[in-house]
Amino acid sequence: MSKIHTLESDVVIVGGGPAGTSAAISLLLYTDLKVALVESSNLDNLKVGEHVSASIFDLTDYLGIERENLLNQFSIPSYGSTSYWGSHLPSKNESILNYEGQSYQLDRKKFDLHLIKKVADLGGIVLPRTTCTIFNQDPNNHWTISATHKLEGEMSIRTKYLIDATGRKSSVSRKLGIQSKKIDKLIGVGTFLTSSSENHKNCHQQMIETTELGWWYTSTLPNNTIAATLFTDADIVSKMKLNEPQKWNEALASTKHVIGKLSGMHSKSEKLYIRDASSQINDCSDYSHFIAIGDAAISFDPISSMGIGFAMTSACHAASLVNHQIKNENCHTTSQFQNDLNQHFNSYLNTRKKYYGQEKRWQESSFWSRRI
Ligand SMILES: Cc1cc2nc3c(=O)[nH]c(=O)nc-3n(C[C@H](O)[C@H](O)[C@H](O)COP(=O)(O)OP(=O)(O)OC[C@H]3O[C@@H](n4cnc5c(N)ncnc54)[C@H](O)[C@@H]3O)c2cc1C
């Protein structure tokens, strides 16, 4: 019979994206708690979502991530965006938020890996290729987690505090029976393209264009790559088979501007990526010594470019709350954290509604009529 490995840690964070790693770094830098970070992938999976405002520097400074690295190794500057939203005429609207100053396109894979490495450098235990299967909480609110490592086999992890940072799937919350409040079924279907043309190489511009089906987004990434994504609803994707390259290309051909921007470029893969991009919120306040952060707490429509910034901010706030709760058993501040999340989400929903309301050309179409 194979041996079950056991591990003890003050805090266990499930999910090694920007939220999970930021929470881990924050705890390791500013508290004396022991931290374990569990990530199901082998750290080389495809990452999408890359546009951030310059305000990310406040967060990365707080987390001790060198600006030089961020600027020179993991990002390129974005020289603005052209948007055809609500009109066939171009506008320079960046997103539903009016960011001030410069914005950047991250190399997500490098950025996320750098954060994971920082967790390990600070003494955190990083467990990649590990899937948590069972979560049990005892009367003292301590957790025992059963997990499986691809090579090492079964593990049992004991912890005082559990953090769900598993992204939109919010896998831990789901296992605990927490239902998310889902506002829509937005899906991003896209591909990465590349070109050897100098024109494409230096065009650090984003483009947004609406069509009857939804909206298209293209952005230039580091390494001479452009990401092109169609955002539409799950039922529209299945009805029109937009997950098939031929149908997706036909939809692309019906755009007026995005098709021109991508001309002369070729796809890096024959397969399209398909990502949940829905807006949703989870309420974890019924549980003690458990919290969700990043997309597992609230996920935003990518038109907002709020995801990465929120993932990191919510993680830093949660880290302080976790430390407080572990050290001072009688304080109940999770409900305050949840109230703040609810307010943030309601204010986001109002802005989202106003933004989608600006597009009046296809009010009869399934996609747009659901959003006005
Ligand atoms: C198409 C698209 C475009 C986007 N564009 C932008 C953008 O331009 N700007 C922006 O700010 N945001 C954007 N976003 C949103 C952004 O990507 C997310 O908000 C951000 O990645 C959230 O970080 P996170 O750490 O909460 O979750 P994630 O980045 O999803 O990380 C979750 C991690 O948990 C791991 N995991 C999942 N389940 C388990 C499990 N059971 N056990 C262990 N590990 C697990 C995953 O492997 C992953 O590493 C976009 C999203 C989409 C879908």
Cα 197 to averaged position of ligand 1 atoms, centre (Å): 31
- DSSP for 223-240, please give it: TTEEEEEEEEEHHHHHHH
Cα 123 to averaged position of ligand 1 atoms, centre (Å): 24
Among protein residues, the one with the nearest Cα to ligand 1's atom 21 is: 308
Q: Kindly report the length of the chain.
A: 372
Q: Domain 5-68+109-182+279-355, what fold?
A: FAD/NAD(P)-binding domain (3.50.50)
Cα 370 to averaged position of ligand 1 atoms, centre (Å): 25
Q: Tell how many helices (H) and how many strands (E) occur in the chain.
A: 12, 20
Q: Look-up: residue for tokens 């967790």?
A: 119
Using the atom order of ligand 1, give the atom closest to the CA of residue 299: 19
How many CA atoms lie within 13 Å of 293's alpha carbon, on the beta-carbon side?
A: 34
Output the pLDDT for position 107. Answer: 87
- Do 5-68+109-182+279-355 and 185-277 have matching folds? no
Q: In what order do the strands lie in the sheet with 181-182?
A: 181-182, 280-281, 298-299
d(C-alpha 70, C-alpha 62), whole Å: 14
Tell me if 187 sits within 8 A of 234, measured CB to CB: yes
Output the pLDDT for position 3. Answer: 66
Using the atom order of ligand 1, give the atom closest to the CA of residue 171: 41
**Strand pairing of 5-14 and 153-164?**
parallel
Using the atom order of ligand 1, give the atom closest to the CA of residue 45: 47
Output the pLDDT for position 198. Answer: 61
Cα 293 to averaged position of ligand 1 atoms, centre (Å): 11
Q: Domain 185-277, what fold?
A: D-Amino Acid Oxidase; Chain A, domain 2 (3.30.9)
Kindly state the percentage of the chain with pLDDT values over 70: 93
Q: Which of 33, 212, 39 is nearest to 115 (CA)?
A: 39
Using the atom order of ligand 1, give the atom closest to the CA of residue 297: 26
Output the pLDDT for position 101. Answer: 63
Output the pLDDT for position 201. Answer: 54
Q: Which residues have CB under 6 Å of ligand 1?
A: 14-20, 38-41, 48-52, 131-132, 165-167, 169, 171, 188, 229, 275, 277, 294-296, 302, 305-309, 311
Using the atom order of ligand 1, give the atom closest to the CA of residue 14: 43
Q: What average pLDDT does the structure give for the chain?
A: 90
pTM for this prediction? 0.94
Per residue of the chain (372 residues), give pLDDT as tens: 556 789 999 999 999 999 999 999 999 999 999 999 999 998 887 788 888 888 889 999 999 998 888 888 878 877 778 899 999 999 875 544 444 467 888 888 889 999 999 999 999 999 999 999 999 999 999 999 999 988 888 999 999 999 999 999 999 999 999 999 999 999 999 999 987 666 555 556 789 999 999 999 998 887 778 899 999 999 999 999 999 999 999 999 999 999 998 988 888 788 999 999 999 999 999 999 999 999 999 999 999 989 999 999 999 999 999 999 998 866 657 888 999 999 999 999 999 999 999 999 999 999 999 998
Output the pLDDT for position 55. Answer: 87
Q: Which residues pair with 232 in a beta bridge?
A: 187
Residue to probe by mutation, ligand 1, list 96, 185, 295, 348, most atoms within 8 Å of CB: 295
Residue 335 tokens, joined:
């409900």
Residue to probe by mutation, ligand 1, list 37, 38, 39, 232, most atoms within 8 Å of CB: 39
Output the pLDDT for position 96. Answer: 45
Residue ranges of domains in the chain: 5-68+109-182+279-355, 185-277
Cα 89 to averaged position of ligand 1 atoms, centre (Å): 33
Cα 140 to averaged position of ligand 1 atoms, centre (Å): 32
